[in-house]
Amino acid sequence: MTLNHDDARPFPGLSRIGALLADPGRAAMLWSLMDGTARPAGELTMIAGISPSAASGHFARLVESGLLKLEVSGRHRYYRIATADIAMAIEALANLAQASAPLREQAEAHQEAPRRASAVPLEMRYARTCYDHLAGELAVRLFDRMLTSKWLEVIPGAPSQTQRPGPATLDATSRGLDEFARLGIDLKAQKARRRRFACTCIDWSERRPHLGGALGAAFLDACTEHGWIETTSKRRILRVTPSGQRHFETVLASE
């Protein structure tokens, strides 16, 4: 059998993206932007631990590659993750990095059995943002509930997390239309947005999917507007309010 060298070539652009993420400073910048906000160049430079003169080159490469988007306000330059899909890819890579760490440590040490010690800070495990949608243990449990209660379904023919890697494409059922409407979410408006409507996003601390896409962002917004979830002084970390605790306990009671 003759090997087709075209088939053996890396997926176009994959090695280029890998090289961009391999730099610790650039990786730190991207991870700090996973709360969906834009940050000034100076703040990102300090997060990366690099000099201002070196930072300009890093910013240029990340913008040219399409990973970051530049926003200019007067004399100030702000950067944010360019798209929600890029944020989902970074979250998936974080999940892969954590999952592969014990195997790497075992290969290097040859001493201890691999341990699955979580690197996720305790305060981030229950509820946090993943770009613009809800992540953490609460998000995973709510997403499971949406599936078992038939609010959402995997679109037939679309890839699922059990068949192949990558996000599964979802749609709302007739019951889901009613339930999301009760939360104040206009599904027609969400479907009209220029982004994926609803999909799975693998949670890097739970290793299971939560709800992503435009619907995932709208759901987090609805939870905030109802007073069930609120932001904290720490980026990405969310607080479930007392009324939110009562609401979610009711929703999850029959898990």
Per-residue confidence (pLDDT) for residue 9, from 0 to 100: 59
Beta bridge partners of 153: 171
Q: What are phi and psi of 177, to 5 degrees?
A: -55, -45
Residue 4 resides in a domain: no
Residue 213 resides in a domain: yes
Residue at which a domain ends, from 82, 98, 115: 82
151/93 same-domain check: yes
> 47: domain range?
11-82
The total of other beta-carbon atoms located within 10 Å of residue 52's CB is 10
28/119 same-domain check: no
Q: Longest Cα pair distance anywhere in the chain, in angstroms? A: 65
133/205 same-domain check: yes
20/136 same-domain check: no
The total of other beta-carbon atoms located within 10 Å of residue 174's CB is 9
Residue 134 resides in a domain: yes
Q: How many domains are contained in the chain?
A: 2
**pLDDT digits (tens), the chain, 255 positions:** 454 555 555 566 778 888 899 999 999 999 889 888 899 999 999 999 999 889 999 999 999 999 999 999 888 899 999 988 888 888 888 877 766 665 555 455 444 433 444 556 677 899 999 989 999 999 999 999 999 999 999 987 654 444 444 678 999 999 999 999 999 999 999 999 888 999 999 898 888 999 999 999 999 999 999 999 999 988 889 999 999 999 999 999 865
Instruction: Output the pTM of the full model.
Output: 0.76
50/92 same-domain check: no
Residue 61: closest CA among 29, 96, 84:
29
